[in-house]
Amino acid sequence: MNNCDVCGKKEVLPYKCSYCGGTFCSDHRLPEQHNCSFDKDYWNVPVKVKKEKKAPVKVPISTPKLNKSQFSLPLKGITAYGYNNIILGICTVLFFMSIIFRPVEYYLALFPGNVFIMPWQLVTSIFLHSSFSHYLVNMIVLLFFGGELERRVGGKIYIQIFLLSGLSGNLAYLAFAYSTGHLIPALGASGAIYGIMGTLAIIAPEIRVLFFFFLPMSIRMAILIFAAWDIFMLPYSLQTGIAHIAHLAGLFIGLYYGKKVRIVRKWRMW
């Protein structure tokens, strides 16, 4: 026999509280009758069975998602070096290839009589050069001004300016060749380079250049002189062997892009 913890009454079969563990008679067996110290927020009343705690939910460790960029085309990694540097590399490789394998010029230079059969010449001819001096001067100009433009406008806009200026120059030359009847092949990045300098003349007029590598002047003044010279020499293109019309067409595209980029920049400032 045991005594009740509240009233001391002896019981043959006393009640043992499942919450506090005390011994009680039939009159004090309920928790609220013997001031049981159970947690009302933790236990359900008046059940005698202890409520089980919910086991913590185990969140499975998800497999890390694959980064699609890791499996993108190698071109994305290549462009990390800069579009201008890639163009310089392509021009260099094709220049030496054209020296070693002469048919390269036939398939990649712009032949007005073959352009409908080989339309890729409209683009590939931009990356070819006829002589070492032609190649060297264009690459020096492209190295400085192309890199500066790409830094200012970004790679995507830069490659648009380069390709569209070069392509416009080739299309203008085709029109000139068919109008004069002299279907002389053409090649070179001069039209694209004029487009680059034209864009810089609009968005960065503060740039100073060395005209013919020794006379300092603003880039806008240099562009005006080059444009005036090309306009003056346009009737003598056959004699000089220079596609002056391609220079002017490339310059026009560059000026257009320069104005467009400048307007977008002003709009973003607001």
The CATH number of the domain holding residue 106 is 1.20.1540.10
The answer to whether residue 61 is domain-embedded is: no
**Number of domains forming the structure of the chain:** 2
State whether the Cα torsion 211-219-239-233 is positive or negative: negative
Whether residue 20 is found in the same domain as residue 114:
no
Return the structure tokens found at 132: 């070492």
Q: What mean pLDDT do residues 237-248 have? A: 92
Whether residue 147 is found in the same domain as residue 260:
yes
Q: What is the mean pLDDT of the chain?
A: 82
> H-type helices in the chain, by residue range?
74-78, 83-100, 103-108, 121-124, 132-141, 147-153, 155-180, 190-203, 219-233, 237-240, 244-269
The answer to whether residue 28 is domain-embedded is: yes
The answer to whether residue 133 is domain-embedded is: yes
Round the CA-based radius of gyration of the chain to a whole number and report it: 41
Whether residue 108 is found in the same domain as residue 242:
yes
Expressed as residue numbers, the domain containing 18 is: 1-49
Whether residue 33 is found in the same domain as residue 118:
no
The answer to whether residue 172 is domain-embedded is: yes
The answer to whether residue 60 is domain-embedded is: no
Whether residue 35 is found in the same domain as residue 140:
no
Whether residue 195 is found in the same domain as residue 135:
yes
Model pLDDT for residues 175-234, shown as the tens digit of each residue: 999 999 989 999 999 999 999 999 999 999 999 988 777 888 999 999 999 999 999 999
Whether residue 37 is found in the same domain as residue 85:
no
The answer to whether residue 170 is domain-embedded is: yes
Whether residue 20 is found in the same domain as residue 104:
no
The answer to whether residue 44 is domain-embedded is: yes
Q: What mean pLDDT do residues 248-261 have? A: 94
What CATH number is associated with residue 14? 4.10.1110.10
Between 165 and 264, the more confident residue is 165
Model pLDDT for residues 75-99, shown as the tens digit of each residue: 455 556 799 999 999 999 999 999 9
CA distance 226 to 266: 28
Q: What mean pLDDT do residues 146-175 have? A: 95
CA distance 68 to 66: 6
The answer to whether residue 144 is domain-embedded is: yes
Q: Give exposure, 241-269, as e/b (b: 16+ Cβ within 10 Å).
A: ebbbbbbbbbbbbbbbbbeebeeeeeeee
Q: What mean pLDDT do residues 148-172 have? A: 95
Answer for the pair 24, 14: CB distance below 8 angstroms, yes or no: yes
